[in-house]
Amino acid sequence: MRLYGICGDSGQGKTRLVCRILAEAQRLGWRCRGVFSPAVFEDGLKIAIEVRLLPGMQTRVLARLATAEDIQVFGKWKLNLESIAWARAHLLDLRPADLWIIDEIGPLEIVKGQGWADILPLIPGLPAKKALVTFRKTLLPWFQARYPEIHITRAGDAEAENLLIESLFRND
């Protein structure tokens, strides 16, 4: 299995690139498994984050902007623990696929050991031809140390993004 990573800061286009990759995978008839986490915008403001299961695209709200009264807050987000558990159970159901996608692994998993942290030690053995993870640029050293075989693409670099898509779908 070949492991690919997309790193970048918030808003740099990691999930947008995952959407492009999913469209190409669908066009080619690839079986995909995992999760992706698109933002929800209202009047140009990011107000929530969804989690969508692959392949079925079932969707739940993963987090929304926190208010002063909220508990289970991480950064500026009120986490939906039921949605996290739902997505974690899906990730741990290790069914084979052509492409596994985990968008996004962040400080909740790496620093706090929560969220989808249970999938981290399983990534090198995912039952797939290829796997793709997305993460924040600040976590790049952690990913490089933990998964030395990972092929990293920086989100927002159009040429690098095109090369990633070409590499992902090449038969090697």
How does pLDDT run across 96-120, given as a tens digit for each residue?
999 999 999 999 999 999 999 999 9
Mean residue pLDDT of the chain comes to 94
- pLDDT reported for residue 10: 84
Residue 65: phi and psi, rounded to 5, are: -55, 135
Model pTM? 0.93
The pLDDT of residue 172 is above 70 = no
DSSP state of 117: G
pLDDT tens-digit series, residues 32-84:
999 999 999 999 999 999 999 999 999 999 999 999 898 878 889 999 999 99
The secondary structure of the chain in percent helix, strand, coil, rounded to multiples of 5, reads: 35, 35, 30
Query: Is residue 83 a contact partner of residue 62, using CB atoms and an 8 Å limit?
Result: yes
97-105 and 32-36 as β-strands: parallel, antiparallel, unpaired?
parallel
